Chains A and B, each alone.
Chain A
Amino acid sequence: MADRETTLLAAGDNSFRLDAYLRRGGYEAARKTLLSLKPREVMDEVKKANLRGRGGAGFPAGSKWAFVPQTDDRPKYLCVNADEGEPGTFKDRAVMTRDPHLLIEGIILTCYAVGIHTAFIYIRGEYEAIARRLEEALGEAGAKGFIGPDVFGSGFGLEVLVHRGAGAYICGEETALLESLEGKRGLPRLKPPFPASVGLFVGPTVINNVETIANIPLIFRHGADWFTGRGLPRDGGTRLFGVSGAVRKPGLYELPVGTPLRKIIFEHAGGPAGGQAIKAVIPGGLSAPFLTANEIDVPMDYESLAHIHSMLGSAGIIVIGERTPMADILRITARFYAHESCGQCTPCRIGTTWISKIADRLASGGGAEGDLETIRDLAEGMKGRTLCPMGDAAAMPILSIVEKFGSELAAAIARKKDTETE
């Protein structure tokens, strides 16, 4: 067992090839599982492992699978969410580039557990080179009978298609992903109904993030208990923490769930770069409320971050140094959501651009009294009011910037006012 891969980040130049994957113990777990366990048992083991979704929402994977009704005969689908658009996030790219077969093996296990025979990998359009790598890997797997009409000779049939997106962050939201996959504009759907009951082409559908699925073979290679042991009891496994921004060693760090943020930044990513102190840290991709330098002792797990009113999200850690004006960060953050808003619902469609216009003005020295309060009110008008979670994704970080760095922003406004009156 020792030589069987335990990591999500395969090493070596040819790690992505099938022969290299097989040497690491690849596909054995899937073969054994399909030939000896019932789908229900597979699902239970994943539940036991307490694998929570790695895309951002953190919903327990096993429970999500269990929502799919097993009693009707509509075709079911798996959509692997490889849209990876959350700023600060670059982990799925690494898994797919370095270990596409790990993902494929995870897809096999997932589909077997839920009774799915067609899986789509929805990959963002910019990842064209990675899409080709996935297709090559699928070709290799298909040639060996690891996917196809009779997987491992088990009688279970599975087809996997790579489906390219075309440049829209919103398609990372699960129902927008479905709309896009059906050949339409990526507009999120009203929930209920939930994808597990009415999803792709109205069939029951599971949508899971790449990293989530990549963990499944590890669970079956080494067991659910091993998995929870690697993380926390209620939140098992490791996370691929992506660290970027003002740090000496930006990169991906595979560490146990619950590792303190400070440790990740200082011990793994080399601490802040450029000899400056940390001003702010985004812990879980841009949609997560910002943390101040005083808050980085937080353990990186869902509960702990929720407790301090932030979120683990996609575990994309961005470190912002003291020399960076928060007005610029606010401007860029607001611009991002304004650009990516699908435009369907009133608060997000108007609110994101309105805030972006104020933030632009503020960052270029045109801020006025009342601007921060307006931004706060507009963000509050979006929070909890929108058709999909992107409203919160936009509102929460912006609110955190205004709340926690409000005095810096206000000082900048006042400075402009002072220079005007001189």
Chain B
Amino acid sequence: MRKWTRRAFIGTGTLVGGGFVLGVSGLALAPSRHSVVSENGAEKGELTTWITVTPDDVVTVLVPHCEMGQGTQTALAMMAAEEMDADWTLVRVSEAPALDNYATAYMARPMMPPVPAPFVRGVDYGTYRLARWFGFQPTGGSTAVRGTGVYGMSVAGAAAREMLVAAAAARFGVSTAECTATNSRIVHAASGRSASFGELAKAAAKISVPTSPALKNPGSYTIRRTARPRHDIPAKVNGSAIYGIDFSVPGMLYAAVEIAPVYGGKLLSVDAAPAETMPGVKRVVKLDEAVAVVADSYWRARRAVLALKPVFDDAGHGDVSSATIFAAFDKALGAAPEVSGKDARVITCDYRVPFLAHATMEPMACTARVDRDRAEVWAGTQDPLNARSIAARALKMNVENVHFTNLLLGGGFGRRLPFTFDYVDMAVRIAKAMSPTPVKMVWSRENDIQHDYYRPAGMARFAGALDASGTPIAIRSRYAGGGDGESLFMPYAIADKHAEAKDAAHPVRLGAWRSVLNSQHGFFKESFVDELSHAAGKDPFLFRRDLLANEPRFRAVLERVATIAGWGGELPDGEGRGIALTESFGSIVGEVAHVAVSPDGTLRVKHVYAIVDCGDVVNPDSAMAQVEGGIIFGLSAALLGEITIGEGRVLQRNFRDHQMIRLAAAPRITAEFIKTDRRPGGLGEPCVPPIAPAVANAIFAATGVRVRNLPIKNQSLVRNT
């Protein structure tokens, strides 16, 4: 492996605040984060950590985020290229390797209070050092564009442009102020001279990276705000894209596994003989929590592992079921919260949401080769550096001895985030047993559905009070199953708003699922507000709008979505509209669902309307794909999604008993973005939370049946008569 060094640069007139936020020593002399480039960077035309310009004028943007279809890599390259004034046709996108130099913690930046300009460099370098220290290179939390893009790529692009301008000015013998960048050239208009980025790259790479380059005015954008085809799509239509499960290496064997069905359970015993005599089987590998069969083809390995009858213990959780978990939630929540007020009318309701699986279309898979004190690992992950650490820990090696290559992800949705790399951990242990032969471990769909890190089940108990005029004066809730400040936030002007966490622990393994805690609380909050509006005898849209006088961004989203949905317009009998409004990951989304419920209770979601205020939109078409995808992902869960527990284990096995919506059930979607210069917010997740309450509220409008427990499939929607 090449040796990497920092090209430390200390600017003039900067500096500051060692250790201030993060306690990183040496911060006072921090180089610019953008100047962390390889030793031979100048020869290769590396202008910043992430941007290389070669003599053929090609600009390569190295993106420290994975591509799982969210369009991040293209969007981040657009942000860099925009500030460079690069010719977009000459821009290439590449995923940064799993090396410390590309550690990133920009995801923290959108959550921090504004950092004063003189401190920015120190803070960014500090978060970078921390990310290196912890081995982080995550893609999650809808943070790539609003974190890495805003604070990293844009600044790196602007810095690269200033370096190219400086190189050109030196070559022309003029001042930098007389030179401008346009379409991958630096032009000196007065003399008519110009030079291409490629011609200037080598000289520019020797120039110190500027610390606070000037960013463009959004009004002058030529790349951002225009629909640019995603760089990853061509390989995804002709079969050439290589996902984690597709990787192969010569001489490789295949592993199939059966895992203790109750999380935490251990393998007690297994008779290996039935598998060992089957064709192609090389070895039965016993792990703490699983048994693996390694064979010369995946099919042979899978068939053989199914011939085994492993005995696992249940980790003492054999009596846990969904019923016991929800009973514990119910008990923990206790009595309904007290709300009061003069002449107040009090409404109380409970809501429940189930565990959910990520069910990425690509089952978990990982290939590894372990040879003495070194290992190579290949998989699709949302954090290659953390996956590398997990592999190193499982093998008791230093991370420097583990080379990790990230591949395309056949879906992420939070399943492949830091600390959820059980599949990497398992694969390297199998490969160690087979050392030095490389092994590809592929999980069956049954493995995948039953061994997820599930979206937490949750329950909430609400009490609300309306005054004599039907104005809400209090909303108080208790909830079990997790919550945080963002997911609990309600924009509505209600004097007494309060939410209280109650603890009811259970042994089901949990993780982050697209939109995380907002997926539960979006449903709870926006269902309850809807219930209050009906109790007050008011229109659900107007009821919300009247509570948003001091929240113009929310109000604008709500009003616009009502407008495009034709809110208030007449509908046939059995049809209804429901509205919901949530904020998550720095973006505000309003959705209206239009549903039809037939007399026998059959539900059809006909049309979903969405208005999204996610700040400045970088790549409008791929952003719209995230809106569409978020709605469908959330709708699938609202209608059908459910993981249930019995005898401590997950009861669902495959796509027959774990259904997801398909094309026929997918509604028409009409969506718009609010046009704004405001900094980008997140977009991978924020369109998920409003859809469940919008549909539940629409069902109530259509039928008078109130859905308080998800998924909707479990409830009769035959209207109340």
Q: Is chain B found bound to chain A in the same assembly?
A: no
